[in-house]
Every structure is written in C-alpha cells, then in structure tokens.
Amino acid sequence: MQNLLNQPLVLKNGTTIKNRLLKSAMSEQLAVDNKPSQTLINLYKIWANGGAGVLITGNVMIDKNALGAKDDVVLENGADLEPFSAWASAAKTNDTKVIMQLNHPGKQSPKFLSKTPVAPSALSLSNGLERLFNTPRELSISEIKELVRRFGQSAKLAKMAGFDGVQIHAAHGYLISQFLSPLHNQRADEYGGSLENRMRFLSQIYHTIRDEVGDDFIVALKLNSADFQKGGFSEEDSLKVAKFMADLGVDFIEISGGNYEAPAMLEGIKDSTKKREAYFLDYARKFRQICDTTLVITGGFRSQKAINNALNNGELDIVGVAKPFAFDKNFAQKMLKNPDYNCQINEPKFGIKKLDDMLLSAVIMYWYMEQMKRLSKNLDPNPKLSLWRVLFSSIYQNGLNAIKKVRA
C-alpha cells in the first residue's frame, strides 16, 4: 500500500497541496472585537509548522450583525485587513495552504446575539432549541441578493489579505444549508420548492465569489452528506448538489453531515461506520460515481493506516481531521511520519448519564476550545481539564447560551 498521505495533490485550478492532510474547520472563538487576535494568529502558525498541507479556518462571518457566536471573526467591507493579513501570513508558514471558511448563521444565531435572525422561511428550530434561538424572519429577495454580494465581497477581501482560498459553508444547518433543506426552506418563489430553486442561493454565491477572485483562487464547498432529519436535506439531494457544484467548477468538496437539531458530526453515527474510522465513506463511493472533483472526507480518521487505505482505494483525495489538531501541536507530524500512528484522545465525561446525554456533545467543544487556547500559548494540552470547570466557565462568560452545540 502506497503512503499517499504524504504525496502532493494538484487541485482543479492548478494549486499544488504538499500533502493530503487537511485541518478541517473548528470554532476557535479567539477573535477580539470580531477581528483575528494575536492568539489566533499564533495558533495558526503553530499548526502550519506542524506540517499539514491545508488549514481551513473556523467560521468567518460575512456580516457583523449575524453571528453564530460572540467571538466569531467577521470580514466585511470596511474591515481593517492588517490582522487578517497577519493571520494569513502565519498560516502559510511551511508552504501550507490556508483557506478561509465563509459563513452566515441564518437562524442559528443565539437569542443574546440576534433578536430577530433571518432565514429562508420564518420557521423556528425544534427539539428544545427554540429556547435558545429566536424565531427567524423570512428573507426578502433583495436581502438574499445582498447576502450573495456580501459573500463575494468577503472572498475578495480574503484574497487581498493573502489567503489561498475560501470555503463556502453549506453544511451544519447554517444559512446556506437552511436554503438547501426542504424542511427549513418552504418558500414559494425562485429560491424554494424544487432542488434547483433551493440551491439557487448557493450557486449564485459561487458565481459571485468566482467573479470577484478569479480562477487562480481556491473556492471550495463544505456540504452535508444529509441532514439526518425526516423531510430534510437527503443524501440523494446532496449528491445532486455536489455534482452541480462540481460541474460549476468548485476546486474541492468537503463532506460532512448534520445540523444543530441532528448533530451527526458531534455525536457520530452507527458503530460499524466508526470502526472504519470515517463517517461518510459510503457516501464517498456514490460521489465518485458521478463526480471527479477533489473530495475531502472529514470525521473519524485517527490512524495513518486507515487514511492510506481510503486514499489507495480511491474513496477520497484528502483527509480532513479536526479535534486532534486542537489537542496536539505535533499531531500532523506524527500522522505524516509514523505509519503505525493511531491518535486516541480520552475525552472526559460528567459521569452522570442524564448530564452526559444532555450536555456532553456541547460542552466537549468548549473543552477543545480551552485546549486550543493552551496550544496558542505553547502550553501542553490538559487531558485532565474538568468538564465541570469548562461548563461553569462557559456559562459565566456567555450565559446559558454556552450549552448550545457549537459548530464549525
């Protein structure tokens, strides 16, 4: 079996990536006044020195009035590009490619940040999340067009700041994902109804970004394999969207799955799939039958053997990994250099079944954020960091909203 993980890859637009290991987006929450902080810049320099081929940033929002969390980075017209340029420069150390993830939360903007969030349709979140998120207002046609323009402008600014590309976040139940879902999008105009209409917002965003940045700039897509909700965005729809966007020219597609109401990426899926070390390989095989675009699969990979097996089988082109990067600054080097490497993180639990069932998947993300803060200061991770301490600290800083499921 070839060690393809260490081999370079040329993307559709001609960009060469030095290896097949990609740090997928995580919510760092290290912005200051919604700008990249020195701490965030330090963190990305450490990751770049670690050896990964690609770093994808956590959420960068296109509108300061629409945040998914209070410490999101925002890039919009009028922004001071100096800290963004410093961020890009740090992340490009060691011949690493850095891609900015662009996003809008839609109705997944918490109550304390959005009195009246916006969405394709005026439908609230369910499963108890209506206590944390206000019912949204339906976007008008003119507002949709303005958001399309904002995505394009943010991409242009990212290129000016020195980033190698942008990733359009169309997964995890955020705004674009809401448009794609027939459960959340019940519009009766050209943006709702058929799949062709539901993906119009996404396709217009892509065209606008490409017009702003040109063909030499990476434009990628993050897409759910499905929403795992009855009546929601299905695997069949996802494959059709992937094919359509691939034909338009996206440089790579990263497959993920789930949203706040059904957080597949946080809580995993069936045990048999976990044993294969990747959540979405069945989807990948179907993708391969209809698309030749570069494919990234994120979720579950922890050993070089399993990664190289998937690469050699042609199931994917690049492997996306997130949590291990937050826990070990040398993770990439270990994964790339040691054929026997197998990364295992013993995540803590509350030890009380009801609390673990209700809060674990949310609070564990804050636990990883604390590890990222330590990493940014060149401190070792703290595997014994108490979940109770993380929970009470998060509630103290953010109120009860802290226990919402934080997504990247």
Q: Are 170 and 198 in contact (CB under 8 A)?
A: no
- Residue 396 has what pLDDT? 59
Assess if residue 87 is contained within a domain: yes
Assess if residue 255 is contained within a domain: yes
Q: Are 30 and 363 in contact (CB under 8 A)?
A: no
Assess if residue 366 is contained within a domain: no
Nearest to 26 by CA among 256, 190, 252, 225: 256
Assess if residue 238 is contained within a domain: yes
Residues facing residue 295 across a β-bridge: 253
Q: Provide the domain limits for residue 243.
A: 4-344
Assess if residue 114 is contained within a domain: yes
pLDDT digits 0-9 by tens, 263-314: 454 444 455 545 545 667 788 899 999 999 999 998 888 999 999 999 999 9
- Residue 287 has what pLDDT? 94
Sequence-ordered list of residues with C-beta below 8 angstroms from that of 271, at least 6 positions apart, any chain: none
110 versus 356: the higher-pLDDT residue is 110
Q: The pTM is what?
A: 0.93
Assess if residue 408 is contained within a domain: no
Per-residue pLDDT at 57 exceeds 70: yes
CATH number at residue 160: 3.20.20.70
Number of domains in the chain: 1
Assess if residue 24 is contained within a domain: yes
Assess if residue 279 is contained within a domain: yes
Q: Are 258 and 265 in contact (CB under 8 A)?
A: yes
Per-residue pLDDT at 364 exceeds 90: no
Per-residue pLDDT at 355 exceeds 90: no
